[in-house]
Structure formats: structure tokens, C-alpha cells
């Protein structure tokens, strides 16, 4: 008998395992253990000063009330300028809806697109929350396994095999969480040329260490871009994001925003303007530091024989292939936590096809990464 009080809709969600690892690591820490955190995808940097100053100014000026539900026009204009400056694409502020983080943006996009039973195609491995969002609005996630040998990127042929009359959109996340892979211009163009709506989660754009970076909007207008300030500007706690959408969907999303969220934080939006306008130097410096950590981490993973065949070149994640040690990444991650005192995320959090991998986040200091790798090496030697 089902004795749960929660609705079926709530019950069918799977937990975000990385949070469970984090919570266990925190309780171990509270008992005096010294834990190295390589599990959470959260920048360890402070939010850049211009952002903090802009928000403080806004608070002092009593800019502490509801804003327009689409977001402040000044921020939406700044977002349009930013996409033009970085990628040469022209978007109108009228296509931009500012949200309280990328996550609510995702909910609005899937909600505006999906009728019951309709499908979103996603690569597996995927960002853990996508299928939950899709199911929550009665859609079906259709996962396309992408291989390590192919750099964890999907080919149009893979996708074509999964298209159906129920397909509503194809999802792409480049740079990717958890794989760190980045799509080239031609790979994004191939996706756009499939003629389907593309949902591009570009939250890690800007965090790229090799090659060029692109937006899907260079290749198609039939796209929803989800982006935010959490990662690039070290603003996870500010809860600020945005959606760039084809104009015809904006009104419906605005109505959902008015009902469900009202608007994003007024002073966080002022911080967002400063982030886009005044933080190029801060971002450059963070990117250089991430890259130094990435190189170090990859070197150690290679020495341990668990590096993947293609180096991750974006975001701040690397997968370790631990298939020769385990086919249960969940258990393995908790073993690493308990025995080596290093918190990592089990691959299974990111899809069935990510079993046999663990994810490392290098959003932590080089010293901590070094210590984490020393401990992991010792742990693996005991296996
Ligand atoms: C791929 C991806 N999209 C979205 C998010 C959520 O970001 P936000 O803090 O803007 O809600 C994350 C956070 O880890 C992520 O990795």
C-alpha cells in the first residue's frame, strides 16, 4: 500500500543525488571529519565586486520592490547587448524573460512547450534535473546515449533515430554538465538543421578553455536559450537567470511567471546588469584559474588511469571512468566519501549511460584538488 502523503507528481521525482552526497559530507564534517568537496557545481569564488556594489546601491536606493514580470528593461537590454557583443546575434529585449535562476527558466520553457506525452530529446549523460522537470509537466524525456569515444556529444544520426511525431524539442547543454564537452559551430549547426526546436542550456557559456564558443542563436531562431548568472559570475545564491525565446512564446511564459514567481529579485537584477557590463576582467581571471585546475586534475586522472578519452574543455567538470572498479557508481561514491573523505558525484545521477563514471567538480582550490587527488589515488590503490 502506498502510504506516502505526497502526490504522484511529486513522488515520481528522483532525488538530486549530488545533494545527498553533499548532505552526508556535511554531516561527516560536523562530526569533525576533514572532507574535500569535489562534488558540487558551485564556483568557490566570491561574486565580483562591481556586482555586489551595484546590488548594495540598489538596496540603499530602496530598489527593493517587485519589478516588471519580464524583468527590468535595463537588464533585458543588457542581455541583448551581451549576446550581440559576444556572438554577433541580434535579439530583442522583448524576447528576454528574467527569472529567479536558470532552474525556474527551465520550468517555464518545458511548461510552455509540452502537451501531455510529448517528448524532449536529451543526451545521456544529462544535467540531472532535466528529466524531472520534463516529467513534472507531463512530458517524456527521450534519452539518447552519447559515447565517451564520441566526446559525449550527439550526432544528428543518433537523434534522427529517436525523433517521433511526439518530439517537441531537442535539448543541448554546451559546455556540458557533467561531461565538460563543448559543441563546435558545425555540431550546433547540424543540430539546428534537424529543423526541430532547440532548447540550449547555455549556463556554462564563457567557461571554455579550448576552441571557440557559440550560441545556438547563431544557427537558428527556433530556439529557447536558458542562461543565468550562477556559474560564470559566481552568483549561485543570487538566483538570477533568463530565457531568450521566440517572441510568440513570451506572453504565455510571462503569464506563468506572473502567477508562479511574480518576478526576479529587484536588486539582484541590478547586480546582473553590472555582471554583464563591468566584469570581463573578473571573469577572465576566474577562467584562467579554472583552466589551471582543469589541467592539473586531468593530469592526475590520467596518472590514475581513469581519465576519459577526450579532455573536457568547458564548464568546471571532468568525468572519471571507474568502470574497471565498479558498476555501481552510487555505492562507489559513498565508499570514496567514507574511506577517502573526498566527496564526488556518482555518474548515475546524470543518467543510466553515465553509470561507471564519477564526476569531479574543479570549482575548488588547487590545494584542495591536489589533496583530493592524493586521497583518491591512495583509495584506488587499495582496490
Ligand atoms: C546545466 C545546468 N543548468 C542549470 C543549472 C541551474 O542553475 P541555476 O543556479 O541558474 O538555477 C545548473 C546548476 O548546476 C546546471 O548545471
Report the alpha-carbon distance of residue 105 to residue 244 in Å, rounded: 10
Residue 201 near ligand 1, beta carbon < 6 Å = yes
- Structural domains of the chain, ranges and CATH numbers in brackets: 8-46+281-381 (3.90.1150.10), 49-279 (3.40.640.10)
Pocket test of ligand 1: the residue of 108, 231, 235, 359 to mutate, having most ligand atoms within 8 Å of its CB, is 231
Q: What is the pLDDT along the chain (383 residues), one digit of tens a residue?
A: 456 789 888 888 888 888 888 899 999 999 999 999 999 899 999 999 999 999 999 999 999 999 999 999 999 999 999 999 999 999 999 999 999 999 999 999 999 999 999 999 999 999 999 999 999 999 999 999 999 999 999 999 999 999 999 999 999 999 999 999 999 999 999 999 999 999 999 999 999 999 999 999 999 999 999 999 999 999 999 999 999 999 999 999 999 999 999 999 999 999 999 999 999 999 999 999 999 999 999 999 999 999 999 999 999 999 999 999 999 999 999 999 999 999 999 999 999 999 999 999 999 999 999 999 999 999 999 98
Q: Which numbered atom of ligand 1 lies nearest the CA of 102?
A: 10
Instruction: Of 24, 72, 124, give the one whose Cα is nearest residue 353.
Output: 124
Residue 184 near ligand 1, beta carbon < 6 Å = no
Residue 43 near ligand 1, beta carbon < 6 Å = no
What does the buried/exposed string (b/e) look like for 258-280 if buried means 16 or more CB atoms within 10 Å of the residue's CB? eeebebbbbbbbbbbbbbbeebe
Cα 102 to ligand 1 centroid, rounded to whole Å: 6
Cα 201 to ligand 1 centroid, rounded to whole Å: 9
Q: Which numbered atom of ligand 1 lies nearest the CA of 41?
A: 14
DSSP-assigned beta bridge partners for residue 143: 122
Pocket test of ligand 1: the residue of 128, 182, 203, 205 to mutate, having most ligand atoms within 8 Å of its CB, is 203
How do residues 101-134 score in pLDDT, each as one tens digit?
999 999 999 999 999 999 999 999 999 999 999 9
Q: What is the CA radius of gyration of the chain?
A: 21
Amino acid at each position: 500500500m502506498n502510504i506516502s502523503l505526497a502526490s504522484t507528481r511529486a513522488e515520481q521525482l528522483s532525488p538530486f543525488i549530488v545533494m545527498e552526497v553533499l548532505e552526508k559530507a556535511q554531516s561527516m564534517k560536523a562530526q569533525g571529519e576533514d572532507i574535500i568537496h569535489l562534488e558540487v557545481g558551485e564556483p568557490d569564488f566570491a561574486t565580483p565586486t562591481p556586482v555586489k556594489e551595484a546590488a548594495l546601491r540598489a538596496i540603499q536606493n530602496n530598489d527593493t520592490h517587485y519589478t516588471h514580470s519580464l524583468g527590468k528593461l535595463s537588464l533585458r537590454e543588457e542581455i541583448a547587448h551581451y549576446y550581440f557583443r559576444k556572438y554577433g546575434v541580434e535579439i530583442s529585449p522583448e524576447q528576454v524573460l528574467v527569472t529567479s535562476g536558470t532552474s525556474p527558466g527551465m520550468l517555464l520553457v518545458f511548461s510552455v512547450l509540452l502537451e501531455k506525452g510529448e517528448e524532449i530529446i536529451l543526451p545521456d549523460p544529462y544535467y540531472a534535473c532535466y528529466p524531472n522537470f520534463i516529467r513534472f509537466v507531463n512530458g517524456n524525456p527521450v534519452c539518447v546515449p552519447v559515447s565517451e569515444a564520441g566526446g559525449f556529444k550527439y550526432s544528428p544520426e543518433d537523434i534522427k533515430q529517436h525523433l517521433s511525431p511526439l518530439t517537441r524539442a531537442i535539448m543541448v547543454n554546451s559546455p556540458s554538465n557533467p561531461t565538460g564537452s563543448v559543441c563546435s559551430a558545425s555540431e550546433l549547426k547540424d543540430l539546428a538543421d534537424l529543423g526541430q526546436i532547440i532548447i540550449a542550456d547555455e549556463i556554462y557559456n564563457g567557461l571554455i578553455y579550448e576552441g571557440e564558443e557559440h550560441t545556438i542563436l547563431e544557427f537558428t531562431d527556433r530556439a529557447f536559450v536558458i542562461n543565468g548568472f550562477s556559474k560564470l559570475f559566481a552568483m549561485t545564491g543570487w538566483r538570477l537567470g533568463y530565457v531568450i525565446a521566440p517572441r510568440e512564446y513570451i506572453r504565455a511564459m510571462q503569464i506563468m511567471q506572473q502567477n508562479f514567481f511574480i518576478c526576479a529579485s529587484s536588486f539582484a537584477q541590478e547586480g546582473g546588469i553590472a555582471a554583464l557590463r563591468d566584469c570581463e576582467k573578473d571573469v577572465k581571471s576566474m577562467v584562467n584559474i579554472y583552466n589551471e585546475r582543469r589541467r592539473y586534475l586531468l593530469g592526475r586522472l590520467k596518472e590514475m588511469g581513469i581519465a576519459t578519452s577526450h579532455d573536457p574543455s568547458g564548464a568546471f567538470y571532468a568525468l572519471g571512468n571507474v568502470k574497471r572498479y565498479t558498476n555501481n557508481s552510487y555505492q562507489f561514491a559513498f565508499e570514496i566519501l567514507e574511506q577517502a573523505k573526498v566527496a564526488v558525484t556518482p555518474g548515475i545521477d546524470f543518467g543510466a549511460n553515465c553509470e561507471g563514471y564519477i564526476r569531479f567538480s574543479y570549482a575548488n582550490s588547487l590545494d584542495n584538488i591536489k589533496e583530493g587527488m592524493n586521497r583518491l589515488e591512495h583509495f584506488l590503490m587499495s582496490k
